[in-house]
Amino acid sequence: MTVSPVDLAAEFPPGSRERWRELALGVLRKSGFEGGDPEDALSSRTYDGIEIAPLYDRLPAAPRVLRPGTGWDVRQRHAHPDPAVTREAIQADLENGVTSIWLDLTSLDPAALPAVLDGVYLDLAPVILDAGPRTEQAATIFLELAAGTALAGGNLGASPLDPGLAELVRRCVAEQPAVLAVTVDALPYHDAGAGDAVELGCSIAAGVEGLRALTDAGISAEQAFGQLEFRYAATADQFLTIAKFRAARRLWARVAEVCGVPGAVQRQHAVTSSAMMTARDPWVNMLRTTLACFGAGVGGADAVTVQPFDAVLGLPDGFARRIARNTQSLLVEEAGVARVSDPAGGSWYVENLTAALAERAWSWFQEIERAGGLAAASETLIPERLAGTREARARDLARRKSPITGVSEFPNLTERAVVREPGPGLPASPGRVRYAAEFEALRDQADAQPQRPLVFLATIGPVAVHTARASFAANLFAAGGVATVTSGPGVDPAAMAEAFRDAGTPVACICSSDRLYGEHAEAVAAALRAAGARRIWLAGKGEYAGVDGTIRAGGDALDVLGKTFADLGIDVKGDTR
C-alpha cells in the first residue's frame, strides 16, 4: 500500500515576509506602536550585540560541523574533601546512570586518589581531573594508579598555559592513548560576566595558546589537537546554548583547517551555569539546569555536567545529586534528545544564531590575537570587555528585564531555608558574579532584622481596580525581603492614614488605577505624609503632589529597595545602585 504525501499547507495561501510585516504591524498598532518597522520593534540584542530577529526565512551560507555519533557522556562533579564520602558518592553515581567522573582536587588531596577511586572500573568509567596548581602531582598519582589498565578515556586537566603541558601530553600518548591532557576551561570567563561570543572567543584563544606551546615543544599538530577538551557553560537560554556549542565546533574546525589538520573536531564538556544558580528558592534551579542540559545536548556537547540544585549552598546532598543525574537520564533515555546528532540543524533561527555567534566570536578572537595573545589581552582588553557586559547585565537584572524566578520575581518570604554542609558546591571561580547575588544580599539583611521590614500599601478603590498594581508592588518589595500590608478597599484618605499608623512603618506605596490616581492620589499622599510617612511611592506612572517616586515595570528595583532600606533604617551592604 502506498500512502501519498500530505501537504499540510495546501489549503492555505502562500505566505510572504511582506504579508507577515503587515499583520505584525497591525497588532503592534493596537498596543500604541507608532513606528513603521515591526521587525525593528520586535528585535532584541544579546550581550554580544547579536540581533535576535522576530522572523527568519532563509538559511545562512555556513558549514555545519557535527558531533561524531549520537548521545553524550553523563559527567558528574565530585568535590567533597572527605575521601570516604567522595568514594561513596562516586559509586552511587556510577551505579545509577553517570558515565564519567569529574574530580575537583582543589579541595581533595590528590594523594587520596587511590582511596577515592577504589572499586571504580577505570577501563569503563573515564575520570577527569581538576587539580589547579597541583595538576602535575595529581596526574602522576593517577597515571601510576592506572598502570597496567587501558583507560576508557578521561582528562588530566592541565591548563593550556601550564609549563609542564608538553610532558603530560607525551605521557598520555605513550601510556594512555585514550586519555587527554588538556582542559580549555571557559567557565571563568562566563562566571565573570562574559557573553556567549566573548566566552567562545576567549576559549579559542586559549586553545590556540595550547597548540602553540605543544607544537613548539615538538609535538605534532595532529597530536596536539587530539589532546584538548573545551569546557563551556550552558545556561537556561536554550537557544543561545544550542547555538553556542554548534558555533564552538565551527570555530575550532576553522582553526584546525588553518593549522593543516582538517577534520579535527572539538571535544566539548558542558557545565550548567554557576552564575545563574540561586540560593533563594533553590528548587527553581532544577528548571534552570534542565533547560541548560537540554540546550547543551541538542547543541552537541560530548559530555554534560548538571550541577545539583543546592550546589550554591555548599556540598550537595544525595537527593540533589540524584536529581542532577536523573535530569540527564530523562532527557537521554525517555525524551530521546540524544537520538539525533544535530536535532536543531536546519532551523532558520538556530542556524542564523549559530552563524552570528561564530562570526562575532571569531572577530573577538582576532582582537585578542592582535593584542598579543591571551596572556597580553588578559591584562586590560579582556577585563574591560567583561566589565562592560557585567554592567549591562546588572542593569537588566536590577530592572528585572532579566527576571530571576524565586528571587527578583515571585519571591517566597515564608520559604524554609535549605541548609547544606559548607564546601565547594560550585567549581572554583574567583571572579564569579551570580546574577541573583544583590537581591539575595538584601533578602539576607531583611531576614536578619528583629522584625520583618514592612511597607504599607494604600490601595485606592475596589479590589478589582487596585489588585494588579498592589500585587506588582508587593512582589517588588518582597524581592528585597520586605513584607507589605494593605489598607483594604476604599477611597477615604483619613481611613488610610489611620491604617498606616497602625502598620508602624515609615514607607507607603499608593496602588490603584490611573483614573483613581487623578481623583485621589494627592489627597491620600497628603494624609499619609501627615501621618508620618517618610517616603511615599506610587505604583505606575505620573507625577502627583506629595509622591516621592514611582515603581513600575522596567524601573530599577534595586534602587527602590535600597532607598526603602534606608528609609526603614537598615544599613544597606553592597552595591544596589
- Residue 382 inside a domain? The answer is no
pLDDT at 207 (0 to 100): 98
pLDDT at 575 (0 to 100): 45
For residue 187, give the C-alpha cell: 567557565
CA dihedral 308, 314, 318, 319 (to 10 degrees): -60
- Residue 66 inside a domain? The answer is no
Long-range contacts for 308-312 (Cβ within 8 Å, ≥24 apart)?
A: 308/425, 309/277, 309/282, 309/283, 309/285, 310/282, 310/285, 310/418, 310/420, 310/425, 311/274, 311/277, 311/425, 311/426, 312/274, 312/277, 312/278, 312/279, 312/282, 312/285, 312/425, 312/426, 312/434
For residue 117, give the C-alpha cell: 577511586
Cβ atoms < 10 Å from Cβ of 381: 17
Beta bridge partners of 128: 102, 155
Residues 102 and 234 in one domain: yes
Angle at 566 between CA 562 and CA 571, to 5 degrees: 90
CA dihedral 29, 35, 36, 40 (to 10 degrees): -100
Residues 304 and 178 in one domain: yes
Cβ atoms < 10 Å from Cβ of 12: 8
Half-sphere exposure of 169 (CA within 13 A, CB side): 28
Residue range(s) defining the domain that contains residue 526: 446-567
Residues 359 and 451 in one domain: no
- Residue 21 inside a domain? The answer is no
Residues 468 and 558 in one domain: yes
Spatial distance between the Cα atoms of 331 and 289, rounded to a whole number of angstroms: 12
- Residue 396 inside a domain? The answer is no
- Domains contained in the chain, number: 2
* Run of H or E residues at 576: none
Residues 77 and 183 in one domain: yes
- Residue 176 inside a domain? The answer is yes
Q: Tell the residue number behind the cell numbers 538556530, with chain if given.
A: 350
Spatial distance between the Cα atoms of 135 and 527, rounded to a whole number of angstroms: 68
CA dihedral 364, 370, 373, 375 (to 10 degrees): -90
Residue where one domain finishes, among candidates 309, 342, 366: 366
Residues 209 and 304 in one domain: yes
What is the CATH number for 298? 3.20.20.240
Residues 191 and 337 in one domain: yes
Tell how far CA 528 is from the center of its chain.
43
- Contact by Cβ (8 Å): 86, 118: no
What are the 10-residue block averages of pLDDT along the chain, 577 residues in total? Answer: 72 86 93 89 96 94 84 96 97 97 94 96 97 96 96 97 95 96 98 97 98 97 97 98 98 96 95 98 98 97 98 97 97 93 93 97 98 96 97 97 97 94 92 96 96 98 97 98 97 97 97 97 97 97 96 96 97 58
Residues 359 and 483 in one domain: no
* Strand runs labelled E in 196-274: 228-234, 267-272
- Residue 107 inside a domain? The answer is yes
pLDDT at 14 (0 to 100): 81
The torsion angles phi and psi of 321, rounded to 5 degrees, stand at -65, -40
What is the CATH number for 502? 3.40.50.280
* Run of H or E residues at 570: none
- Residue 57 inside a domain? The answer is no
- Residue 347 inside a domain? The answer is yes
Residues 172 and 319 in one domain: yes
User: 246: buried, middle or exposed (CB in 10 Å: 19+, 13-18, 0-12)?
Assistant: buried
Q: How many residues does the chain have?
A: 577
